[in-house]
Amino acid sequence: FSKNSGNVNITMYNRSMTDTIENSVALEQKIRIALEENNLYFVLQPQYDTKTRKIRGFEALVRMKDEYGNIINPASFIPVAEKTGLITSIDNWVIRNSMLFFKRVLDITNENLILSVNISVLHLLNKGFLDEIQQMLNETKFPPSNLEIEITESVFISSMAKAIETLNELKKLGVCIALDDFGTGYSSLSYLSKLPIDLLKIDKSFIDELLVSESGRNYVEAIISIGHIMNFSVISEGVENQKQLDILTNLGSDFMQGYLWGKPMLPKDALKLLGVSDEIIKSTLLA
């Protein structure tokens, strides 16, 4: 009997492994089709300035539709895209299309709003990366100082010197740099001071702890202090309720992003949030 149950276990283990492989092959196929048939789209999540309570800008987040119209979230397809190298095409699709849209937002509103885009580590370290960004900026006539590129700490683990060099070149173009998911990776103070970044994004996992424990609150306070000592601005991610907002305001978080202020939304809803009239929204989306 025990031998049998051992066999059953082995079979189940193998099956789940096969499932995973089949899943990622299927996902890879879905990504290729989505890229070819333009079944990617992006949503925009507002970021708020704590002091003025005005919109600072928006983060563009990718979404994918499969052949049945199901929406697939990045958490499930980005890892596969990174493994297969398709991430570069995805990132570039999001950057180009969100810049095209956001250039119109800047023209219509005449406000100094920031567009934040996420760049995968693998993409940032690509040889052609800087040229591509430069070309997309030219092509879309997007003002570089209104573009912010979000990277994660993993970029420095894989290749510190190359990453810093690339970021310095980006800064020369006038683009801003944000360090995303801060606190979840390899954070050492000595390397932090060497990074050419403008903004620290405190990861949601720390914001979640704010109301849970004293130490959770202390961590966030410490991160904000470190950020400010290093002359970075600090944004809190995943702010979901008023209590968190109040604490973060007291602790001096410069900006906020989270469901409390707004979930990621379609471009037309971002225009609405900015107070753009329905008529202009229609003509903007048709353009």
Tell me which residues touch ligand C2E (CB under 6 A): 45, 61-62, 73-75, 78, 87, 90-91, 94, 118-120, 150, 180-181, 237-240, 257-259, 264
Distance CA 20, CA 13 (A): 11
Residue 98 sits in the site that holds Mg ion (CB under 5 A): no
Sequence-distant (6+) residues with CB within 8 A of 119 are: 91, 95, 149, 150, 151
- The binder of Mg ion chosen from 101, 180, 232, 245 (CB under 5 A): 180
Question: How many beta carbons lie within 10 A of that of residue 135, not counting itself?
Answer: 13
Residue 234 contacts residue 202 (beta carbons within 8 Å): yes
Residue 148 sits in the site that holds Mg ion (CB under 5 A): no
Kindly list the distances between the CA atom of residue 267 and the CA atoms of 110, 238, 254, in Å, as whole numbers in the listed order: 17, 20, 25
114, two tokens: 């920031």
- Please identify, using beta-carbon distances, which residue of 118 and 120 lies nearer to Mg ion: 118
Residue 257 sits in the site that holds Mg ion (CB under 5 A): no
- Please identify, using beta-carbon distances, which residue of 148 and 237 lies nearer to ligand C2E: 237
State the binding partner of 166 from Mg ion, ligand C2E, none, CB within 5 to 8 A by kind: none
User: How many CA atoms does the CB half-sphere of 56 hold within 13 Å?
Assistant: 21
- Please identify, using beta-carbon distances, which residue of 39 and 108 lies nearer to ligand C2E: 39
Distance CA 94, CA 101 (A): 11
Binding footprint of Mg ion, residue count (CB under 5 A): 5
Among the candidate windows 112-120, 134-142, 154-162, 182-190, which touches Mg ion by CB under 5 A?
112-120
- Please identify, using beta-carbon distances, which residue of 49 and 108 lies nearer to ligand C2E: 49
State the binding partner of 135 from ligand C2E, Mg ion, none, CB within 5 to 8 A by kind: none
State the binding partner of 238 from Mg ion, ligand C2E, none, CB within 5 to 8 A by kind: ligand C2E
Which of these, 204, 216, 221, 198, lies nearest to 257 by C-alpha position? 204
206, two tokens: 């720390």
Residues of this chain that bind Mg ion (CB under 5 A): 118, 150, 180-181, 237
